[in-house]
Amino acid sequence: GTLQAPPLGQARIVLYGLPTGDLLSPGQLQHVNLGGPDRQLRAGNRIGASVNSSKLGQAASVQPSYIIGNSYRDPAVALGDVTYDWSYKANEEIWDRWFASGVPKNLTASDLATGKLANPRMRPLSSESAALAALKNIDQAASKLLVEGMFNLNSTSVEAWKALLGSTANSASVVATPGDSFITFDPATGNDPAARYARTLITNQIAGGFASVGGDARWSGPIKLSDAQLTDLAKGIVQRIKDRVKIMGRPFSSLSEFINRPAGKELGLLQESLDQKKLPDGTPGGTSLSGGRLNNDFLGQFIDGTVEPEGAPGAIRQGDLLQSVGSFINVRSDTFRIRAYGEKRNEQTGAVEGRAWCEALVQRVPTYINSSVPAEAKITPADPVNFIFGRRFEIKSFRWLNSSEI
């Protein structure tokens, strides 16, 4: 708990969650112990992934926890040593190669007809019964699904990021009270309308975004983010995206590139934003939402009097954000609004005699240009049409515009 004395602090802290239903986001895999096979898990899967291991007596007893979705420097690897970054590699393999469809094993034709899957963001590309087997096939499911409301992580809109971060206000959570009873916080009934991030399905109590060092709430969670905190967090994320894109000279090209820490940094972009005391432009960003970093001494010595041990359930981490929104994020868009303009000029005077504006909504779909090749097949130079042009773009709507709509 918050103090070392045995009679004080929390008697029960929920650190990890076991799946109780279909996996809906790769971010939920943060609870899997993947800290690396070269070190035995002898002292527990430590929550202090940024701890200086020399203070713990045995470096081999510590390994990074919650490595999926988070990106920390391994605390047990000395500066200058060469080893695998397990978190980096795990994020690269999982986020860039896999997704959670939410398709249950017992999916029926009637479920397919209604378009309702365990993940409400997933929409079947077809309601035909022939698609049923493909949706249950690990190699074909992605070619039969679309994501509703996919969010492009390269967005530099503060309002868009705020909307994404605040989207958890629309979901319910179960909280265990000290008396071992349970309360459901459900915004649909007006109970707990704030944006809320829970690391596990069942938690102890709600922690405010500014929980004090001595408060037990920091060791339980989930954490609630106020409107002002969401604004500051969104501003910090957007500024860091702009800074990183400027350095790279291009947008982020994969989910793992966005999630993982770049060379020379100890944290991922989202975690840097959660840890901020000031926004990147220098304006105050308030108290660190993540609870800050541990100092060299693991047992209770903090960087200052306003922070908590990073990793406590009431201290939000990058992986907690991705656990909630990981099922509908990407680094590109697949649906575009395209507008065009044309005019007719008098050949003699050059005066404009007519103007026209039009708008089309175009969507990229899994089907290849050469549709004789299955959508799940890997393309090669032997198929030049698909190798060069890739997937089809379909015109979903078209309309003429009036000048007042421009």
178-213 residue pLDDT tens: 455 555 555 555 555 455 566 665 554 444 444 443
How does the average pLDDT of the chain come out, rounded? 74
CA distance 293 to 2: 15
Highest mean pLDDT among 25-34, 124-133, 174-183, 196-205: 25-34
Q: Please state, for a pLDDT cut of 70, what percent of the chain lies above it.
A: 63
Which of the pair, 307 or 241, is modelled with greater confidence? 241
CA distance 206 to 194: 11
CA–CA–CA angle 265, 267, 270 (5° rounding): 125
Q: Is residue 342's pLDDT more than 60?
A: yes
46-74 pLDDT, tens per residue? 322 322 333 333 344 445 678 888 887 76
| Residue partners of 347: CB distance under 8 A and separation at least 6 | none
pLDDT at 302 (0 to 100)? 36
Q: Which two tokens stand for residue 125?
A: 């590309």
Which of 63-72, 273-282, 356-365 is modeled with the greatest confidence? Answer: 356-365
**Coil, helix or strand at residue 29:** helix
Give the per-residue pLDDT at 9. Answer: 57
The reported pLDDT for the residue numbered 401 is: 97
pLDDT at 345 over 60: yes
Pairing of strands 223-225, 391-401: unpaired
- Residue 7, classified by CB atoms within 10 Å of its CB into exposed (0-12), middle (13-18) or buried (19+), is exposed
| Winning range, highest mean pLDDT, from 36-40, 96-100, 115-119, 122-126 | 96-100
CA neighbor of 71 nearest in space, from 251, 265, 241: 265
* pLDDT value for 121: 84
CB-based contact 290:369 (threshold 8 Å) = no
pLDDT confidence of 108, banded at 50, 70, 90?
Answer: confident
Task: Check pLDDT > 90 for residue 373.
Answer: yes
Rounded Cα distance, 234 and 154, in Å: 13
Q: Is the pLDDT of residue 385 over 80?
A: yes
The confidence score (pLDDT) of residue 41 equals 38
Contact call for residues 66 and 30 (beta carbons, < 8 A): yes
d(CA 146, CA 365): 8
Q: What is the pLDDT of residues 217-248, one digit of tens each?
A: 566 666 677 788 888 889 999 999 999 999 99
Give the model's pLDDT for residue 171. Answer: 57
Token digits for 95? 């986020």
pLDDT over 70 at 317, yes or no: yes
| Size of the chain, expressed as the number of residues it contains | 406
- The angle, 0 to 180 degrees and rounded to 10, between the axes of the packed helices 158-165 and 318-325 is 80
Q: How confident is the model at residue 287, as a pLDDT?
A: 55
State how beta strands 202-203 and 173-176 pair.
parallel
Are 198 and 226 in contact by the 8 Å Cβ rule? The answer is no
Q: Which amino acid, 185?
A: F
Backbone φ and ψ of 203, nearest 5°: -125, 180
pLDDT value of position 355 = 95
Beta-bridge partner residues of 361: 337, 397
